Amino acid sequence: MPAYLPNIEASIVKKLFACALLVLPLLTPITGFAETTRYVSDELEITMRNGKGVKFAIRKMLSSGAKLNVLETDPAGYSKVRTSNGVEGWVLTRYLDNMPSSRAQLASSEQRVANIELELAKYKSEIEALSSQNSDTDTQNLTLTETSQRLSKELDNLRRTASNAVALDNENRQLKQQLQEIDHQTQLLIIENSGLKDSDAKHWFMIGAAVLFAGMLLGLILPRLRFQRKNSWNNL
C-alpha cells in the first residue's frame, strides 16, 4: 500500500467526523427554550400596547419571529413582554409561540443542507481519486461509498422535511391572517356595542327625567285644582 494512503485515510476520517457533527443536530428535536421566552407567530405583525386592551395606545409593532421575554401573564389573555431592545408593553398571549417561526427553522435547515452537499461533493471527489490509485483501496472505497449513500439518504430526508416546512409555513400564514381579521372584526363589534349601550342609557335617562318632571308638575297643579274646587263649593 502506498505511504500516502494512511494520511488520506486520516483526512477522510476527520471529514466524516465533521460531517456527522453537522448531521446529528438535524436528527435531534429542537428543545430547551426558556419558559419565559416566546416568539411572535409566523407572518404576523402584532401591536404592543401600554395596557391590556385596545383602548390603550400602541407602543410598538412587533414583526413575525420577534423574540420576547414574558414578564407577566394575565388570565384575560394578555402578556406583559420585553423586547431585545428593552421596550416593555402588553400583547395578546395567543399570538405568542414557544418556538421560533418555521421560516427561521427552514432557513437554518437549508443552510445545513448546503453544507452537507459540499461535504458530499468532497467525498465523491476523493472516492474517484482513490479508485484510480490502487486496488488495495477497495475496502476504503466501500466504506466511503456506504457513507456517501447514507448521507445522500439523509439529504433526501432533509429536502422532504424542508418541502413540508414550506407547505406548513404557507398554511400557518393563511390561518394567522384569518385569525387577525376575525379579531379585528370582534374589536369593532365590541366598540359598536359599547356605543349602542351608551345611546340606550341616554334614551332611558331622558324618559326618566320626563316622567319625573311630569310627576312634579302634577304634584304642583293637583293641589291647586282641589283648592279652587273647594272654594267654588263654599261660595255656593
Q: What is the 3-state secondary structure (H, E, C) of 138-175?
A: HHHHHHHHHHHHHHHHHHHHHHHHHHHHHHHHHHHHHH
What are the boundaries of each domain within the chain?
A: 4-31+104-180, 37-97
DSSP annotation string for 183-209: HHHHHHHHHHHHHHHHHHHHHHHHHHH
Asked whether the whole model's pTM tops 0.75, one would answer: no
Contact of 89 with 69, CB cutoff 8 Å: no
Q: How far apart are CA 158 and CA 47, in angstroms?
A: 35
The tens digit of pLDDT for each residue in 99-130 reads: 766 666 677 777 888 888 888 788 777 777 76
- Rounded to an integer, the average pLDDT of 129-138 is 66
DSSP 29: -
The tens digit of pLDDT for each residue in 176-205 reads: 777 677 777 777 777 766 665 666 666 676
Q: How far apart are CA 146 and CA 112, in angstroms?
A: 21
Q: Which residues lie across from 61 on neighbouring strands?
A: 47
Q: Which of 92-101, 110-119, 138-147 comes out lowest in average pLDDT?
A: 138-147
pLDDT of residue 123: 77
- Rounded to an integer, the average pLDDT of 210-233 is 63
> Does domain 37-97 fall into CATH 2.30.30.40?
yes
- Rounded to an integer, the average pLDDT of 158-173 is 73
